[in-house]
Amino acid sequence: MAPVIGIIANPVSARDIRRVVANAANLQIADRANIVLRVLAALRACGVTDVLMMPEHGGIGRHVARGLSRAAAHGEAPYPAIHPLPMPVTGTVADTHRAADSMRRAGVAAIVVLGGDGTHRAVVAHCGAVPMAGISTGTNNAFPEHREPTITGLATGLAVTGRVPEHIAFAANKRIDVSLDGRVAEIALVDVALVTERYVGARALWKPDSFRELFVTFADPEVIGMSAIAGLLEPVTREESGGLMVRLGAPASGTAASGVTVLRAPIAPGLMASVGVADWRRMPAGVPFVPEVKAGSIALDGEREIAFSAQDRVSLTLRDDAFRTVNVGGCMQYAAQYRLLTGAPAPVTAEL
């Protein structure tokens, strides 16, 4: 039997205020379902026969089921069998947490995630050592790479069936742990921003005046969001140890005398903002940092999640090797080099 794959497709990502304040995209439910079908087709082509799927009420599962039944009516079997996880649906992030947890305990070989940075973060918080293959269907998407989902599915299939060596098939990733009063309360995959707004509100960040501090696991000038600020200052790769920390200030004070530089950065899709930058430096792994901001809210991967006051003790620690992802590029290069897709897939023993 073949390895089992988990799929977590978030139906409610990419619905936030950035569609109004920054013309961000909306990926329709039918499109998300089509992505799942594309991934399923690629997985099946690699020999995956069974997939666990997070149930949801957003309609993705219903569209996918239509695709499956249509294929069955044709007498084709292009897809693996789908097994919805037996769990209640709340329509909140708790569903993702619970699904990732269940899939980990069920021993899936990898979890394919459809969502934005927030969805991926929720999976990482509960998937333990299970590698994740991310597909961007969210707003900000600094973490999941932009790629045709069929390829992500293919790479995942090749990786979990053991045809790509593990050291090539999977990559290690960094994360930042956010501790409140000494306890890890949240994590971030890309960035942690401290802003002065002390309410979560519509979650997204689009008012640079409130930005104060930024901590990133990697700084890539090609990505969107808060980490773009760091990426445009001093690039840090996903692979190297440690990240970057940036002190931000109001751009109005961006005069020569104040020592603040004004940076124009794409902080959300279509939204170029002037951000005042006071200074920045490398953030070494494993060292807790206490932010200077005493009260405000903590935004994780671009969304306000936690409001805190002067009474709360906040610290941030970057961790290398925090979780694993499928190295899609590496898998496909390997597949090409070794002509992995030239014959019929060899049957593989299930690991469940």
Partner 1 sequence: MTDNPYPLDKADLLQAYRTMRTIREFEERLHIDFAKGDIPGFVHLYAGEEACATGIMMHLNDNDRIASTHRGHGHCIAKGVDVHEMMAEIYGRSTGACRGKGGSMHIADLSKGMMGANGILGAGAPLICGAALAAKFRGDGGVGITFVGDGASNQGTFLESMNLAAVWNLPVVFVVENNGYAESTAMEWAVSCDSYIDRATGFGLPGVTVDGTDFFAVHEAAGEIIRRAREGGGPALLECNMVRFYGHFEGDAQTYRAKGEVESLRANRDCIKLLAQRLTETGIVAPAELETIDREVNALIEDAVRCAKAAPLPVAADLLKDVYVAY
Smallest distance from partner 1 to CB 50, Å = 25
| Binding flags for partner 1, 25-44, as an x/- string (CB under 8 A) | -x-xxx--------------
Q: Which of 82, 250, 285, 295 binds partner 1 (CB under 8 A)?
A: 295
As given in the structure block, the two tokens for residue 39 are 């991934």
User: What are the C-alpha distances in Å from 65 to residues 83, 112, 133, 135, 255?
Assistant: 11, 18, 22, 20, 59
Smallest distance from partner 1 to CB 33, Å = 9
Contact call for residue 200 and partner 1 (CB under 8 A): yes
Yes or no: say if 114 and 120 are a contact pair by the CB < 8 Å rule: no
Smallest distance from partner 1 to CB 202, Å = 4
Residues 6+ apart with CB under 8 A from 128: 104
Q: Which of 85, 307, 322, 348 binds partner 1 (CB under 8 A)?
A: 307
Q: Which of 4, 7, 8, 16 binds partner 1 (CB under 8 A)?
A: 16
Smallest distance from partner 1 to CB 26, Å = 5
Q: Which of 65, 81, 83, 91 binds partner 1 (CB under 8 A)?
A: 91
- Residue number with CB closer to partner 1 (60 or 187): 60
Smallest distance from partner 1 to CB 89, Å = 9
Contact call for residue 86 and partner 1 (CB under 8 A): no
Helix crossing, 117-127 with 93-106: angle to 10°? 40
- Residue number with CB closer to partner 1 (259 or 270): 270
User: What are the C-alpha distances in Å from 7 to residues 10, 121, 144, 180?
Assistant: 10, 15, 15, 31
Contact call for residue 97 and partner 1 (CB under 8 A): no
Contact call for residue 15 and partner 1 (CB under 8 A): yes
Strands 50-53 and 81-84: parallel
Yes or no: say if 79 and 152 are a contact pair by the CB < 8 Å rule: no
- Residue number with CB closer to partner 1 (26 or 258): 26
Paired with 241 in beta bridges are none
Yes or no: say if 290 and 281 are a contact pair by the CB < 8 Å rule: no
Smallest distance from partner 1 to CB 21, Å = 5
Neighbour count for residue 17 (Cβ, 10 Å): 15
- Residue number with CB closer to partner 1 (20 or 77): 20
Contact call for residue 270 and partner 1 (CB under 8 A): no
Contact call for residue 199 and partner 1 (CB under 8 A): yes
Q: Which of 58, 254, 276, 330 binds partner 1 (CB under 8 A)?
A: 58
- Residue number with CB closer to partner 1 (200 or 348): 200
- Residue number with CB closer to partner 1 (60 or 219): 60
Q: Which of 50, 145, 197, 234 binds partner 1 (CB under 8 A)?
A: 197
Contact call for residue 203 and partner 1 (CB under 8 A): yes
- Residue number with CB closer to partner 1 (164 or 205): 205
| Rounded-to-integer distance, Cα 239 and Cα 52, Å | 30
> Which residue in 272, 9, 206, 202 sits closest to 116, CA to CA?
9
Contact call for residue 87 and partner 1 (CB under 8 A): no
Which residues bind to partner 1, rule: CB under 8 A?
Answer: 11-12, 15-17, 19-21, 23, 26, 28-30, 57-60, 62, 91, 196-203, 295-297, 307, 309
